[in-house]
């Protein structure tokens, strides 16, 4: 089955800096790659997603890039704010979703 690896497990940045989280996947049949943000004790919320026929997608301060050849995709957050602090999960989907282990992002004011 699919295997999704996510790095780093924790990331600490200064407010205003950029943050990058990377995921790799193993199955080239994966065709959909969402990113979820989860605040402590809350439900995961979809923040951005990308399909396998697209290389990059941007939504305000958040962007996702996909490299199908290398089988990796990344989340980029620019101009980070304290409210960006949360755990971020990547996922890859074939018929089911396979999740990465999460990155705890801490934005220091």
Partner 1 sequence: DGGITQSPKYLFRKEGQNVTLSCEQNLNHDAMYWYRQDPGQGLRLIYYSQIVNDFQKGDIAEGYSVSREKKESFPLTVTSAQKNPTAFYLCASSLGTETEKLFFGSGTQLSVL
Interface residue list for partner 1 (CB under 8 A): 1, 4, 6, 9, 32, 34, 41-46, 49, 51, 89, 93, 95-97, 99-102
The distance of closest approach from Cβ of residue 44 to partner 1 in the complex, given in angstroms and rounded to an integer, is 5
Q: How far is the CB of 3 from partner 1 (least distance, A)?
A: 11
Q: What share of the chain is helix, strand, coil (3-state, %, to 5)?
A: 5, 60, 40
Q: Which is nearer to partner 1, 20 or 94 (CB)?
A: 94
Considering the complex, state which of residue 27 and residue 49 has its C-beta at the smaller distance from partner 1.
Answer: 49
Residue whose CB is less far from partner 1, 74 or 78:
74
Using CA atoms, how far residue 107 sits from 13, 52, 66, 79, in Å, is 5, 30, 25, 10
Question: What's the CA angle centered on 97, arms 88 and 63, to 5 degrees?
Answer: 40
Beta-ladder partners of 100: none
The least distance separating partner 1 from the CB of residue 49, rounded to whole angstroms, comes to 7
CB neighbourhood size of 79 (10 A): 11
Q: How far is the CB of 13 from partner 1 (least distance, A)?
A: 20
């Amino acid at each position: 089955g699919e295997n999704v690896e996510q790095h780093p497990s924790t990331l600490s940045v200064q407010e205003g800096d950029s943050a990058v989280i990377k995921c790799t996947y193993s199955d080239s049949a994966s065709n959909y790659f969402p990113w979820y943000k989860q605040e402590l004790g809350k439900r995961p919320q979809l923040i951005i997603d990308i399909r396998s026929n697209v290389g990059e997608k941007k939504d305000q301060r958040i962007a996702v890039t996909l490299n199908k050849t290398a089988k990796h995709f990344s989340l980029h957050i620019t101009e980070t704010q304290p409210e960006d602090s949360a755990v971020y999960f990547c996922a890859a989907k074939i018929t089911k979703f396979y999740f990465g282990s999460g990155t705890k992002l801490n934005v220091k004011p």
